[in-house]
Amino acid sequence: PRVELAWAMKAHQHAQVYFNLISSVDPKFLRLTKVDEQIYEEFRRSFPELHLDVLDPEELKSEAAK
């Protein structure tokens, strides 16, 4: 139990650090991987009409979205 608790505490600390890092950078300049552009292009090919500025949960749950 102590090892699991220590691991969970360390994971939480790392998550806080990474969240603070990605929250402090303008998303236009944020690059998480070397293939970010490829991932985005493929995403856009699969979901050309999906508006990313505001995601509507009901739209994502619709029959057309499924």
Q: Rounded distance, CA 12 to CA 27, Å?
A: 23
In a domain, residue 4? The reply is: yes
Q: What is the pLDDT along the chain (66 residues), one digit of tens a residue?
A: 899 999 999 999 999 998 998 899 888 888 888 999 999 999 999 989 887 888 888 888 888 777
Determine the pLDDT at residue 16. Answer: 96
In a domain, 19, yes or no: yes
Domain count, the chain: 1
Please give the pLDDT value at position 59: 81
Q: Evaluate whether residue 24 is within a structural domain.
A: yes
Q: Is the dihedral of CA 50, 52, 65, 40 positive or negative?
A: positive
The closest of 2, 30, 34, 36 to 18, measured between CA atoms, is: 30
- Give the residue numbers spanning the domain of 46: 1-50
CB 65 within 8 A of CB 59: yes
Q: Quote the pTM value.
A: 0.50
44 close to 37: Cβ distance less than 8 angstroms: no
